[in-house]
Amino acid sequence: MAVKSSAKATAPRAKAKPKPKTRADEAKARRGPTKVQQRADKMEQILDAAEYLFSKHGLHGVTLKDVAQMVGAHHTLLNYYFNDKKTLFDAVFARRAGVTSALRMAALDRYQTESKGKPTVEGALHAFLDTDLDLYFQSGEGMKNYGALAALASNTPEGAALLDQHFDPVVLRLIDLLKQAMPECAEEDIFWGYHFVTGALMLTLARTGRIDRLSGGLCKSDDHTAVKARMAAFMAAGFRDICAQRGRN
């Protein structure tokens, strides 16, 4: 039986009246973007193109000429901005790393306060995982490309070094909360648990489509709601079980 939607249509908000343009505004519009703005725009185009290409082919599968061709520029322009391909790769990785790290750190700090010193495994994992999943799945293609790039890079020495550099503080913040939630658990088991968590997270962010094919379409790589409903609970059960088993040995 079809279910009728209970959502009500809402009228579009009236647009605010534009402010009258001054002579300075009109003169600025005639002049067009400044050289600084043009440089910033071109830099964003380069980073976006490189992010896409690196997410598909990795560091060693892309050349500066490939990136230049994608943005319609001569490769000497990239050499002007970046010393070499690795410098460009590092810049691409760093651009969004601060965003995801800051959001997760804030979520973990907020959860620490809300839990009043009594965090749970599920609560800590939800703060860490759900914040990241929301960011990658609900943002535009650029952030999704970055997720795929991070997943690909995490399996290379160059990428692992960047993960250490940009993400260690927020990971150790999660580890601290997990230690508080499971004071009886051996520290090595908590670190192994995180190792398994990050593997599942990276595979999910990669959006390879394997689960789509394997399940015959029952599960979908882009099903954000399904992932959020299961990942933290699944990982929390794993943490508890490995700690309990090790405690009995």
Helix%, strand%, coil% for the chain, nearest 5 = 75, 0, 25
Least confident of 8-12, 113-117, 230-234: 8-12
The pLDDT value recorded for residue 5 is 36
Answer whether 59's CB lies under 8 Å from 86's CB. yes
The pLDDT value recorded for residue 15 is 42
- What's the whole-model pTM score? 0.80
* pLDDT at residue 124 greater than cutoff 70: yes
Q: How many angstroms separate the CA atoms of 238 and 195, rounded?
A: 12
Q: How many angstroms separate the CA atoms of 135 and 144, rounded?
A: 9
Q: How many angstroms separate the CA atoms of 36 and 28, rounded?
A: 14
CATH 1.10.357.10 for domain 96-248, yes or no, is yes
Answer whether 240's CB lies under 8 Å from 181's CB. no
Coil, strand, or helix at residue 118?
A: coil
| pLDDT tens profile 195-228 | 999 999 999 999 999 999 999 999 999 999 999 9
Burial profile 135-155: b = 16 or more Cβ within 10 angstroms, e = fewer = bbbeeeebbbbbbbbbbbbbe
The pLDDT value recorded for residue 238 is 95
The pLDDT value recorded for residue 19 is 59
The pLDDT value recorded for residue 41 is 87
| pLDDT tens profile 28-77 | 555 566 777 878 888 999 999 999 999 999 999 999 999 999 999 888 88
The pLDDT value recorded for residue 12 is 35
| pLDDT tens profile 125-159 | 999 999 999 999 888 899 999 999 999 999 898 89
The pLDDT value recorded for residue 71 is 92
Question: Which residue type does 113 have?
Answer: T
Residue 75 tokens, joined: 């490769």
The pLDDT value recorded for residue 138 is 87
Q: How many angstroms separate the CA atoms of 108 and 1, rounded?
A: 43
Average pLDDT of every residue of the chain = 87
The pLDDT value recorded for residue 248 is 59
